[in-house]
Homo-oligomer: A and B are copies of this chain.
Amino acid sequence: MQGKGLLGELINSLCCLPGIGPKSAQRMAFHLLQRDRQGARRLSDILTKAVNEIGHCRQCRTLTEKELCDICANPAREQGLLCIVESPADVWVIEQATAFRGHYFVLHGRLSPLDGIGPDELGFDELEARMRSGQLQEIILATNSTVEGEATAHFIAELARKYTIPASRIAHGVPMGGELEYTDSGTLMHAFSGRREI
C-alpha cells in the first residue's frame, strides 16, 4: 500500500546511495519532505547540474565541469611533479590530507587483465606522451596497495625508467596510531621490509 506512490519511489531511489539501506532512506525522505524542502530542492538542482555538466579534465582526467580542472589550471602548481592515482576520489583525499603541490594523472582503474583492463583503458598513451615531452621531473605512484594496484605501479615505474624519470611509491605500513596487534599481516610485512633507520 505505502510502497507505492511518490514517497515510496523517493525512498527507493535514495537506496541507490552507497551505505544507505531502507531504514536510512526512509529517515532521509521524511527529513527532506517534512523539515528541509529547501535543502531537498537545492540537492536535486545541484545533482541534475552535476550529472549533466561534470566530465573529465582533458589533462589529468579527474572529475570537473571545466575543460581543464582547477589543479591543472593553477600556474602555482609544479608542472614537473606528477602523482598517479586510480580514481578522482584519490585526488580529493590527497588534496585534503597532504601538502602535495604538483599535478595528478587519474587512471580510472588499475591493470586487471582478467577484467580486460590493460594499458589502453588507463590512458597510458597519454601518460607516456607526457613522459616523452621531457617536462616531468618526478613521478609519485599512489595507486592502491592491492595486488593490481602494485602491478600497475610497477608497470608505470618501468615506463618512467625508459624516459629516465625518477619514480617513487608512496609508503605503506602500520597506520599512524595503529596498533601492531590489529594490523593485517600483509601490511605488517610491508612495514618490516620498508623499515628505515631512525
Q: Which residues of A contact B (CB under 8 A)?
A: 1-2, 4-7, 9-10, 13-14, 16-19, 24, 26-34, 36-37, 39-51, 53-54, 63-66, 70-71, 74, 87-89, 91-93, 95-96
Contact = CB atoms under 8 A, between A and B. Distances in A.
A49 B7 CA distance: 10
B50 A7 contact: yes
Given A42-B13, A44-B44, A64 B30 contact: no
A143 B41 CA distance: 30
A36 B47 CA distance: 12
A66 to B, nearest CB: 8
B30 A88 contact: yes
Contacts of A46: 6, 9-10, 13
Contacts of A50: 6-7, 9-10, 29, 32-33, 40
A90 to B, nearest CB: 10
Contact of A47 (B18, B47, B64, B95): B47
What are the 9 closest A-B residue pairs judged by CB atoms, nearest first? Answer: A16-B39, A44-B47, A30-B89, A13-B43, A44-B48, A6-B65, A18-B31, A10-B50, A44-B44
A140 to B, nearest CB: 18
Contact of A33 (B18, B24, B54, B96): B54
A30 B87 contact: yes
A26 B26 CA distance: 21
A47 B10 contact: yes
Given A16-B36, A34-B87, A47 B43 contact: yes
A50 B39 CA distance: 13
